[in-house]
Amino acid sequence: MAYRWKNNLTPADVTPEAAYLNRRQIIGSAVAGLGLAAVGGTARAQGALEPNRFEDITSYNNYYEFGTGKDDPARNAHMLTTSPWSAKIDGLVDRPGDYAFADIMQAMTVEERIYRFRCVEAWSMVIPWNGFELADLLQMAGVQAGAKYVAFETALRPDEMPGVRFPVLDWPYVEGLRLDEAMHPLTIMATGIYGKDIPNQNGAPLRLVVPWKYGFKSIKSIVRITLTEDEPPTSWNKANPREYGFYSNVNPEVDHPRWSQASERVVGSGLFAKRQPTLMFNGYEEEVASLYAGMDLRANY
C-alpha cells in the first residue's frame, strides 16, 4: 500500500486502531497532531479535534437503503453482497465498459487520507479513509473533451436493501459533481477504513468521498459512473430542491432552511460537549475555494 500524505500529515499522526476500539485515552502531542493536521491550514486556529472511535464511524451512518435510523445501516447492511462487484463507466469516455472492482484495485494506488466529514445535519467526524483519487479512475476510462460533469449511481437491490421498499427517495440514489471537482486531488474513491475493507454500512466496496461537501454528496456502493455534458440529477435535490442544491459545499454562512449551519456537533464528544464552529468548505478552503471563484455561493448552494 502506498501513502501520499496531505495537509502535512505523517504516519505518526494516525491514531492506532486499537486506541479507537478499546476507547483508550490519547493525550499529548499525538492528539494535537492528528487534530491539527487532519483539517488543513484553515482549521489550525480552531484547536485540536478529538479523534473519533472506530465504532463511531461504523455505527452512526446515513444509508437510507438500509433504513432511516442512524443504527439501521450497521444492523442491516450485512445483507448487501459486495463480491463480486463492478462499476459501469460510460458516457463521454474513451473506454466505456463494466470495470470489475478487483481490476480497479489492481490498477489503482491506494493511499490513506485523514479527512474531516461534515453531515448536512450539522454533525461531524474525523475519518481515516483508504482509497485512491477519483481522477485516476476517470483517466483510466479516458475522459473526452466534451465532458463537464460526472454522475454516480448507487446499487439498487430490493432483496438486500430493506430501506428501498419505502419511497423515502426516488431510488436508485444518484449524485453528481462538476468535472473539475471530480478531478480535484482531494476527491477520492474510498475502499477502506484503517487499512481494512470498508464496512458495508459505510458504502462498501466503493464510495465517493468529497471532504469539502456535505456528506450526502459522498455517494455509497457505486455501480455506475457516467461522464456527461449536462448537470446530472441528484437524489436530495430531486426530493427537495429548496433545501438541497447541486453543489452542497459546507458553508457556515448559508443555513439549511430548517437549521443553522454555523456550528456542528462532533460525534463522540459527549452529551454536554460544546458545539464547534463550522469551517468554510469544512476546513479545505485553501485547497478548493478557487473552484468557485466569482460564484454566488448563496445562489449556488
Please report the DSSP string for 107-128 in residue order.
HS--EEEEEEEE-TTSEEEEEE
What is the SS3 assignment for 265?
strand
Instruction: Find out whether 220 is annotated in a ligand binding site.
Output: yes
Instruction: Find out whether 253 is annotated in a ligand binding site.
Output: no
- Nearest in space to 117 (alpha carbons), one of 186, 67, 197: 186
- Nearest in space to 86 (alpha carbons), one of 70, 67, 69, 99: 99
Q: Which domain holds residue 98?
A: 11-292
Domain annotation covers residue 74:
yes
Q: Residue 205 pLDDT more than 80?
A: yes
pTM: 0.86
Domain annotation covers residue 6:
no
Domain annotation covers residue 299:
no
Instruction: Find out whether 64 is annotated in a ligand binding site.
Output: yes
Instruction: Find out whether 81 is annotated in a ligand binding site.
Output: no
Instruction: Find out whether 219 is annotated in a ligand binding site.
Output: yes
Q: What pLDDT is recorded for position 6? A: 46
Mean local confidence (pLDDT), 65-80 = 98
Q: How confident is the model at residue 17 (pLDDT cuts 50, 70, 90)?
A: low
Domain count, the chain: 1
Instruction: Find out whether 228 is annotated in a ligand binding site.
Output: no
Instruction: Find out whether 153 is annotated in a ligand binding site.
Output: no
Alpha-carbon span 274 to 13, nearest angstrom: 25
Which CATH number is 121's domain given?
3.90.420.10
- Nearest in space to 127 (alpha carbons), one of 113, 109, 140, 137: 113
Domain annotation covers residue 173:
yes
Q: Residue 25 pLDDT more than 60?
A: no
What is the SS3 assignment for 43?
helix
Alpha-carbon span 178 to 251, nearest angstrom: 18
Domain annotation covers residue 3:
no
Q: How confident is the model at residue 301 (pLDDT cuts 50, 70, 90)?
A: very high
Decide if 207 contacts 218 (C-beta within 8 A): yes
Instruction: Find out whether 224 is annotated in a ligand binding site.
Output: no
Domain annotation covers residue 204:
yes
Instruction: Find out whether 244 is annotated in a ligand binding site.
Output: no
Q: How many CB atoms lie within 10 A of CB 252?
A: 16
Instruction: Find out whether 282 is annotated in a ligand binding site.
Output: no
Domain annotation covers residue 2:
no
Domain annotation covers residue 59:
yes
